[in-house]
Structures are given as C-alpha cells and as structure tokens.
Structure 1
C-alpha cells in the first residue's frame, strides 16, 4: 500500500480571463475543489492501487467536505480533527501557470502519526511542504524513520522553489542526507535550485546521495531518472494538445510514478504511468479531472 502524509485543504481555483486589472474587476471563472499536495497524490493514486492519506483537518464543515470528497475517491483517510481547514487560492493565467496564495490551516497541526496509520505501507510519500511547519515537520520526520526502520521505502517531493527558499537550500539538503529517501521527485526549477544533476539545467556542483534516485520532470521535455552509479535515463513525455491548468500535474505524476513502481519495480514504466496520470488533469480546474 502507498501512504501519503500531507495537506488536505480546500482549493479556490481562479481562471483569469485576461491580464489582472489592479484596483478593479478582472473577468474570471472560479471553482472550488478539494486540494492539498498530499491529498492530490492520494486521490490520483487510489485509481491505481490501495492508498492511504494521513493528516490533520479542521473540525468544521469545510473539513467534513474535503474528507468526504477524498473518501469518495476510495482513499483510506486517517486524520486528526482540530483547528480550521486550510484554503489555497490559485490564480491560473492563460498559459495554465499558477500563482498560489496558501493558508494551510489545520494541515500543519498534525503532531504524531500513530503506528496503526503506518501499518501495511510499502512506500511512504511526503511532499516537502510537510517539513516546513511545526508540529507537522517533526511528526513527518519521525514517521519516515519508522517506515525505513521496518524496511519500507520513502519518497519526497521537492514541492516548490518558494517553499525550498523559505526552508533553506542547505537545510533541506542536510535533511535529505539524514533521511536518505529512496526517491526525490522535483521539477526542473527545483532541481536547478537544489543543484541536482540535470543536463542543461543545473550548475557545475552536483548533489546526490548513494541511495536516492532523483526524478526530474520538465514539462513537455523528457523526464530524467538519475539512479546512483548508473547513467541517467530519459523518458519522453507524450504530447498533450491543450494545457489549461497545471495545478496538480506534479502530484498526479507522483501518484502514477509511485503506484507504477510498486506494481512493476521498473522505473521507466513508472515514469510512463506518471506521464499518463499527469496528462489527465491538464485541461481541468485544479487537481481534478472534472471539466471546467
């Protein structure tokens, strides 16, 4: 079973109809969706295999809604209820690119992960967002150590350059050196920021760990799989005719990649499944396959 620890929030998606007009109205379409990077991964992965989500959600009607939405997608949901459910406002421009305004709310309040939540997991996935606030950060680090102690695998998603900048590049790399995840997933901007080896993107200094496979996505360009002590492998990305909203595409890729890896133990096949999963969300509002 794949397990995910992270945020479960409400997304307010704004498809902007043109340039934002400061101080007055800008035509738009607005959608409300269940969101949160961790919850997105769990939702997409549940279509591919048994999946569990772990986190904290507000004791409020918004929390009831997002839990119900995630459970309706066949996710095994394990949450603590306290605080107020978070909200992320996401502005989407005409090219599908996102500008996000997060209020994570209760998502950061998880202070412990019970043993029974981790029972039966083959792989634990953690968005790096989960390291950036307490008490969630300490709880997640403890859970990673416990999963690895019993032979489970761990995946970390670099999440965003904004989060990495606030957390600190050196601090994040030190944490990865300490935890040694089996997989580190990143996009090309995050790889460049962290100094990962991706030809034509990073600088001369390379960061790597002996047991961490780095998977770098680059939009429509080939995904690069960098396994320690092996040549880099490139997996081409099939063309997508229309890209309206990039929200959740990275989470969908993570879901397909990790579920594919658990099924096949083949990294190339896992990347192919990741690409197919990501393509499903590119024409829909937010991290969903529901049309706009």
Structure 2
C-alpha cells in the first residue's frame, strides 16, 4: 500500500465508518456479519464514530444500542432513509412514517444528521428500468418541494439536519443533476452528503463541488472507485448492485478520487464535518472487512484525519 506523505492535521474532519463497509445493505441477511461482530470490529479498526446503517440491522431499542456502543467507545453520527419525493404529495405520508422512526432512533443516539438517499430509477439487482432516468420539470419541482418539507419537519420534530446523498442509479447523481437539485432547494432546509465514490462513479469532481457549493456540504462519505472496473461497468450498462459485486468500490488509495485533496478542500470550509468511510462491498466474505478497515483508518491518519 502507498502511504500519503505527512500532512497538517485536518482538525475540522471527524472520521468514522459504517455498516456498509462491512457489507451490510439490509436489516437482515445471512450474508452479512452479525451486528455485534460489526460493532466489535469497527471499534477494533480504530473508529469511534458510526452510522446506524439500514434500520433494524443494529438494535432499535435506544437503551440497548446505547449500552452496546458505549462499552465499545462508539458514538452514532447519523441514520439513513430512502425516499421517492419526486412522486409528489401522494407519497408524503408513507415517507414520513419510515423517516420518523429512523429519525427518532437517530436523535435518541445523540446524532445530528439524517442521510437521505433518493429512490433508484432501475432495479439494483436486475437492471429492470423502474422509471425514466431523467425527471420531468414537474418531478424536479416535487423533488425540491418535498425535500425542503422533509428537511424542515425533521429539524422541527427531531432537531436533525437532513443531508441528501447523490447516489448512482438515482435522479441525483451527475454534476448536472446535483447542481440542479442544489439550485432548486433552500440551503436553510437542505444540505448535501457528498459521497466521493458515488460522485466519481457518476463522473463528478468532488473538489470542484466542495469549492463551488461549499456552504451546502453538510456531511461526507469517503470511498473510492476502481477506474478499470468502472469502465467495464459503464460499457456493460450494469446497475449499481452488480457493479459493487465486481469490486467497483475499492479501498484507498487504490482508486479515485484522491482523498487528500478532497479532505483539505473540506477543511478549508472552516466547519466541522463528519467523514464516514463507506466502502460498498455487498456481499463479501466475513473476514474481508476488518483488514481493509484497519488499513483505511491508518491511511486516513496519514492524511491528517
């Protein structure tokens, strides 16, 4: 492994990890490690901050989860929800029902963020096209209005800040789509979770995004893309799930984007940010995540984080 040269401490960046880096995509799946193993290993790898992952993977009883995390020296940064707000007011009640339960647990764990991921436009496994990859003007308006409504209500009822996560195979993915979404939404209600891997997967430049829309960046996910695998994925028009199974996301510093420039651009914003390592590896052998997590944490320390 190539190690970065010593750098000035990134004292505004707080590094963590997530169940995703242990191959966890679902609340319950026999191919995923048991939740106690994840907690043991993420602490062993040197992290103190974690995300909740898919609701129901970690205990949903705040008392149980607080005890389990505290005795391992772990603290929670965020919960995660999936939404389809471009479908307009008709989906609001169902959306709020699932958002509110995740937000309640997130708040109970002392976290301050809720990561919001848009719905996929094609099936994550079969590549079946579920709806057009481009939104209509009316759908863009519904997406913006619904997300602002969600951001305000989550803040009012739970004291959390929503951070919208551009994601492969969703309608908020490319530089063009991310810029359109940010330009259409109120900064006081909606912030961005910049995932460096997903943004590179969709052709985006993370440093340029931070420098252009710095005031909108509320949270980071750190991951890298293997350019050779990505080229094959694009050529074959594979959906995100099979792309991950092929190893499109790789551990740093083996892929793109280079993380030190991203971290230093984020540091220059002058605000405290969580930077959560999220290397998609579903499914993966049970003994694979921990060595990668240890190497990644060591690498990020070498970057100053």
What is the TM-score normalised by the length of structure 2?
0.36
Q: Which has the higher strand share?
A: 1
Bigger fraction of residues in helix? 2
Of structures 1 and 2, the one with the larger relative CO (CA 8 A, separation 6+) is 2
Q: With structure 1 as the length reference, what TM-score do the two structures score?
A: 0.37
